[in-house]
Every structure is written in structure tokens, then in C-alpha cells.
Amino acid sequence: MSISRRDVLKSLAVGAAATSVLRAIPAHAAEYAHHMVAAEKAATSVYAPKFFPAHEYKTLQTLCQTIIPGEGDSGGAIEAGAPEFIDLLTSENTEYQRELGGGILWLDGTCSDRYGKVFIDCTPQQQKEILDQIAYRNNAIADLSISQGVDFFSLLRNMTADGFFTSEIGIKYLGYIGSTFLKEFPGCPPVPGI
């Protein structure tokens, strides 16, 4: 029995709706989504967003890179394909469409009210200021007007981490060597002070 690309994406997106992808779907399914993105990039040399309009996709990329920037010899969320991963899953999940699409609209609207411009046109200091406010749940208790932003950013952080750590770059970053045979297992290193 053959399973279509759409069926796989729909099962990924539905399974992931309750929580972050790594806890809800198998790693091989996330790997499949990354392979779908890579195949599209190989065929057309560029990924065409499936859900987000151009401006919102650029905002998504900026946010993902802010959440997991590249460091040293390791790429960040952009190089790992996290924005594509998120867009692909969002294209098949109406709850993600509402939460992420609505969250980006909220972010742009809030930045426009505060700074007179949308998020990606704000200065790095202004971007940091707004993200620092929505990065912590306790801030939503003190100021209910940012609760949608807090929920949005929490979901986006989880999805960015999932997109990063299920990618080739993320797996390499973790130092995962796969299912390999070990002739001997040295055990855990001793705990200092015991």
C-alpha cells in the first residue's frame, strides 16, 4: 500500500498538534519531512513556502534564526531547514495555521503599535525587547495583552528546536552516531565529589 506525501504530512501535523514534534512523532517521520524539503530544494534550488506569504515567511526565518543562531562551525535554524520544516507542517495543520499565522500577525501589529514598523523592520534592540517580553509565561500573567504573543513564541520555539534537532545539522550538533555496535561500554564518568 502506497502512502502519499500529503498523507504523511497530514499525519505529522496532526500528531504534532498536541505538543512538540519530537515527543509526538517518530524521528524517521520528521526525517521524511526534511527529505521532502531537500528534494524540493534540489529540484528547484529554492524552497517555495506552502503556507506563509513571503513577508510572514521572512519573519518566520528571522525568528527561527534568533531562536537557534549558527555558532562556530555549526549552522543554525536556517541552515538546518527549520523554517521550511515549520512551514511544511503548518500547511497541513489548521491549528498551527491559526496559532503561527495569527502569532506573526500579532507580532507585526504589536511592533507597529510600539515602534511604527513590522517586526523584521525593527532595530535589533526593538526585536530583542519584544521577544524578551513574550519569551516568558509569567509576563503574560502581568500583562494579558501579550498572552497571545507568549503562546505563539512558546510554540514557535518548540517547533524550531524540533526542526533543528531532527535535521542532519542538528543530529551532528548533538554528536549522535546512530545505532552502532560497541565492543565495550565504559559506563558513565565518575561524579566529582562522591
| Residues 109-125: tens digit of each pLDDT | 999 999 999 999 999 99
Is pTM beyond 0.85? Reply is: no
Q: CB neighbours of 147 closer than 8 A, spacing ≥ 6?
A: 140
Residue 26 has pLDDT above 80, yes or no: no
Q: Which of 50, 52, 45, 86 is nearest to 68 (CA)?
A: 86
Determine, yes or no, domain membership for 94.
yes
The CB density around residue 57, as the number of other CB atoms within 10 Å, is 20
Q: What domain range is 10 assigned to?
A: 5-174
Classified as helix, coil or strand, 118 is coil
Looking at the 3D structure of the chain, how many domains does it have? Answer: 1
Measured torsion, CA atoms of residues 154, 160, 161, 163, in degrees rounded to the nearest 10? 140
Name the amino acid, one letter, at 7.
Answer: D
CB count within 10 Å of CB 62 equals 16
Segment 49-61, tens digit of pLDDT: 999 999 999 999 9
In a domain, 181, yes or no: no
Give domain status of residue 70, yes or no.
yes
C-alpha cell at 33: 519531512
Cα 151 from chain centroid (whole Å): 14
Would residue 127 count as lying in a domain?
yes
Residue 179 in domain: no
Does residue 80 fall inside a structural domain?
yes
In-domain check, residue 187 = no
pLDDT exceeding 90 applies to what percent of the chain?
Answer: 51
144, part of any domain: yes
Q: Is 39 exposed, middle or buried (0-12, 13-18, 19+ CB in 10 A)?
A: exposed
